[in-house]
Structure 1
């Protein structure tokens, strides 16, 4: 059987609340079209079960990290993120994934791409999708990325070594501007009504809207939101029209097929006591804002790091949908606590405002990550055209 197969070295790695396939760039074909065919075969896509590949049949586990030595003098490693569709033969390279990004520094250390320094190794990650630098501080023990620690993140069982990520260089990484439309708030007409949104580019582009505009409390479960087909269609119409406004697509109806990964779409609401779908109880006193976020045309079961980065940035921009929901004391804080479907995620966000211009000075988040499996994946030679 192996005579009909190509054997490629790869790893399965958890980063934050996501899991992905990590593969070195030199394992893949140079031709982009051929490369994507191979990647789809590795994951077993398109197939909603991904039964013939390594994909986890979920948008949070159908993720890719292509790793290479750095092509920049100011970085230690190159990282290209890809979101693998389960329904289409499509790899979306349109943005970053913060959760997967949190594992890149660990992987680079373990693979010998970055010299380990105990107790912390600083890894400068060149995110090739947006040509920005992410700085990660990785705990190191015995020459490898540490795994054990007391850092807990909602959405992941147990605890692990705390990884600190500085996303301050990611502001405007997709469009070149923190506020791509030029305004803190915009009006979008969809479904016969006008809706107020804020569009922020930090980590990824995120469209924010008050959940109350949809008649939601904002604490609904992902399953409950997805079950409302009319709401999901309305969300995609709004998202598509913002895509068209930003020049990501010519016609808003094409956004679902041409740029499904981003922009993200977040429905935000004031703090409240509520229960999460996984049994976690969130107290009003423990959060500053509540959010439910959609990407890849599905609801996120936790909260993406790049969405967290954008939410933190939006909180510091006067007049945004996010900023206006916050208590005055919270607007002045560095720490913002975001309630999400699996619990709470904190983000450190600091900014300065001068002549109505907002400068994001720091966006810090914390994650855990670990290698789950390293080995070889078998791909049919016919996929390579052999």
Structure 2
């Protein structure tokens, strides 16, 4: 039976004896090492950006087919002597790229392209190792925040899939008189890299604030702007894929006039390859035309979203879309200059890194839509 109390007893007089009142779930102490997991994700973010850059340079230097085998473990050891180098060179001499295009290549020149591809693959192994050490470490220490195990495991699965797709891409250029890898496989490979980078970006942003703050921030969402931000992400990803198709067939080094193409709106003979569907992947004029048109649509849509975002009641949301518009203008100008100078490697890689910056900033702006930061009336 409960102890009887006097009706004249002061409320709270025995609080210390009874213990402090427990808060609800939203007030509970956060579980998991959110800051440490976020720091680990930032390291992975930097490595994936470096991987995209090295992959672009590998493509621009025509180095991607220099290693003709996929050895996930033993392939980490490069040739250690003259005999090993000769064996690797002989394997390369057996593929069409050497037989048709590089018959006069010397051993010194082969080593140069070999190191680019070996470095690209080695960086992939480093990313896998950093992910595995971090994930297993946090899992064993029980420091993964609740609900995050599946998401972080998914990053590792996508990373493994990316390695398999990388070999699927390379294998397309090893026979059938192919001088390069299949452009649609290159687009798949680069597209998945951007998906992984986008997920890391979103996860890092999620972990930058406590769960309670995110739950509260969701109440201030601006649905219309969120929808527009989602479309901006989709159009940016489409432009990345089309850019990969351009890179896959060196379409950026032809039709260097702007705003026309060979003096006309459409390039000459845009559907000359049979069957017709192959033109959308292999016709350099049509592929570059699609990349240009998609860029114009993205640019105009970005301006529209920026104008809409200026009416947002949140200062950080407005600032986020200022950043998107700024990099969008820079990327448009850089793309035009890259084409007009026939895509030299230094401009081409800057253009690719500009796509990375745009991708990250669009995702950041969309996250700000979903979880607007709280602000005072004065700062609004």
- TM-score range (shorter-chain normalised) is under 0.3
TM-score by length of 1: 0.24
Structure of greater Rg: 2
Higher helix share: 2
Q: TM-score, normalised by structure 2?
A: 0.24
